[in-house]
Chains A and B, each alone.
Chain A
Amino acid sequence: MKKLLIWLPLALFVLVFALVMNGLIQPSDRIVRSAMVGKPLPAMHLPPMLADKPGIDAKDFATGKPRLLNIFASWCIPCVAEAPQLLKLKQAGAEIDAIAVRDTTPDVQAFLARNGDPYTRIGDDHAMRAQLSLGSSGVPETFVIDSHGVIVDQHVGDIRAEDVPKLLAALEKAK
Chain B
Amino acid sequence: MIAEAGLAALWLATAFAIAQLLLGAAAARAADPAAMLGGVRKIALVQALFALAAFLILIWLFVTSDMSVLLVAENSHSQKPMLYKVAGAWGNHEGSMLLWVTVLAVAGAGVALFERRLVAETLAATLAAQAAIAIGFYAFLAFASNPFARLNPAPVDGQGLNPLLQDPGLAFHPPTLYLGYVGLSVAFSFAVAALVMRDVGPAFAKAMRPWVLAAWIFLTIGITAGSYWAYYELGWGGWWFWDPVENASLMPWLAATALLHSVNVLATRDGLRAWTLMLAVVAFSMSMVGTFLVRSGILVSVHSFAVDPTRGTFLLALLGLYIGGALVLYGARVGTVTQGATFQFVSREAALVLNNLLLSVILGVVLIGTLYPLVAQAMGVQLSIGAPFFEKTAVPIALFLFAGTAAGPLLRWRRDSAQALLGRLTIPVAITGVAFALFFALSGGGSPIAVLVLALAFGLAAASIAPLWKRKLRRTPLPVWGMVVAHLGVAVSLSGMAADTLWKQERLAAVAVGDNLQVGPFKVTLAEVRPTVGPNWSAMEARLQVQRGAGAPFELLPQQRFFANPPTNTSEAAIATLWDGQVYTVLGAPDGAGRWQLRLWWKPFVTLIWFGGGLIALGGAVSLAGRVLRARRDAREEEWA
Q: Chain A interface (Cβ within 8 Å of chain B)?
A: 3, 6-7, 9-10, 13-14, 16-17, 19-24, 26-30, 32-33, 104, 126
Contact = CB atoms under 8 A, between A and B. Distances in A.
Given A3-B335, A6-B334, A9-B278, A20 B316 contact: yes
Contacts of A32: 382
B298 A20 contact: yes
B258 to A, nearest CB: 14
Contacts of B300: 28, 30
Contacts of A28: 300, 373, 377, 382
A13 B378 CA distance: 17
A29 B330 contact: no
Nearest to B334: A6
A32 to B, nearest CB: 8
Given A19-B371, A24-B298, A28-B373, 18 more contacts: A3-B335, A6-B274, A6-B330, A9-B281, A13-B285, A13-B323, A13-B327, A16-B289, A19-B375, A19-B378, A20-B374, A22-B377, A22-B378, A28-B377, A28-B382, A30-B300, A33-B382, A126-B592
A6 B373 CA distance: 28
B309 interface: yes
Contacts of A3: 335
A14 B335 CA distance: 21
Given A17-B324, A23-B298, A10 B331 contact: yes
A63 B289 CA distance: 55
Given A6-B335, A10-B324, A21-B316, A26 B330 contact: no
- Please list the 10 inter-chain residue pairs (A to B) with the smallest Cβ-Cβ separation, ordered nearest first: A10-B327, A23-B374, A7-B331, A24-B312, A22-B378, A6-B331, A23-B298, A28-B377, A19-B374, A9-B327
B342 interface: no
Main secondary structure of the interface of A (DSSP, over half): helix
B320 interface: yes
Contact of B319 (A17, A29, A30): A17
B196 to A, nearest CB: 16
Contact of B316 (A14, A24, A29, A126): A24
Contacts of B382: 28-29, 32-33
B312 A9 contact: no
Interface in B573-623: 591-592
The size bracket of the interface on B is: 35 or more
A115 B125 CA distance: 70
A13 B371 contact: no
B443 interface: no
B374 A27 contact: no
B291 interface: no
A3 B375 CA distance: 28
Contacts of A19: 371, 374-375, 378
Contacts, number: 67
B330 A14 contact: no
Contacts of A30: 300
A11 to B, nearest CB: 9
Contacts of B312: 24
Contact of A9 (B282, B335, B373): B282
B335 A17 contact: no
Contacts of A33: 382
Interface in B247-298: 274, 278, 281-282, 285, 289, 292, 296, 298
A16 B330 CA distance: 18
B449 interface: no
Contacts of B296: 24
B328 A10 contact: yes
Interface string B327-345: 1101100110000000000
B323 A23 contact: no
A27 B309 CA distance: 9
Nearest to B299: A23
A6 B296 CA distance: 30
Interface string B359-401: 0000000010001011101100010000000000000000000
A13 to B, nearest CB: 6
Nearest to A102: B589
Contacts of A13: 285, 323-324, 327
A23 B330 contact: no
B426 interface: no
Nearest to A19: B374
B532 interface: no
B374 A22 contact: yes
A23 B299 CA distance: 9
Contacts of B378: 19, 22-23
B298 A10 contact: no
A14 B334 CA distance: 19
B313 A24 contact: yes
Given A10-B330, A24-B313, A29-B382, A17 B375 contact: no
A40 to B, nearest CB: 24
B278 to A, nearest CB: 6
B257 to A, nearest CB: 18
A17 to B, nearest CB: 6
B126 to A, nearest CB: 21
A23 B327 contact: no
Contacts of A9: 278, 281-282, 327, 330-331
B309 A24 contact: yes
Contacts of A126: 591-592
Contacts of B285: 13
Contacts of B323: 13
Contacts of B374: 19-20, 22-23
Contacts of A21: 316
Contacts of B274: 6
A70 B1 CA distance: 54
A17 B328 CA distance: 14
B275 to A, nearest CB: 11
8 contacts: A6-B334, A9-B281, A10-B330, A14-B324, A17-B316, A19-B374, A20-B316, A27-B307
